[in-house]
Amino acid sequence: MLDMRDVTGMDMNVVDMLKVHAQKAEIFCAAETDRLFVHLAPTTVAQKIAGFAVRSWEHVPGITHRIVRTEEQALQILGLRETSISALVQQQV
């Protein structure tokens, strides 16, 4: 889960962004299992930035993204019973 609740904007540096994408490809595309990324993006700005990230992975097999507005939605997609991140963090292992 990518928690984007505190995102207020984005500084577009294309060179740095391409470097990050190259690193992501090395890390995630080598995996033998599918990957699920849930973007917790409650604001319009966070939703827009999450959309950029999702579109950058559109044609990569084995990578699934979901963008949601609430903690409860994010945790539900991940198959967790908790309805908040704080409840999840407080849970004893």
**Residue 8 to residue 31: CA distance in whole angstroms:** 32
The structural domains of the chain, with segments of one domain joined by +, span 2-90
Q: Report the DSSP beta bridge partners of residue 68.
A: 40
Q: What is the pTM of this model?
A: 0.80
- Cβ pair 56, 21 in contact under 8 A: yes
pLDDT digits (tens, 9 = 90+) for 64-91: 999 999 999 999 999 999 989 898 888 7
pLDDT digits (tens, 9 = 90+) for 6-52: 999 988 777 777 777 777 767 766 666 788 999 999 999 999 999 98
Q: In the structure, what pLDDT confidence band is assigned to residue 93 with cuts at 50, 70 and 90?
A: low
From residue 80, how far is each of 7, 20, 33, 56 by CA, in Å? 24, 29, 20, 27
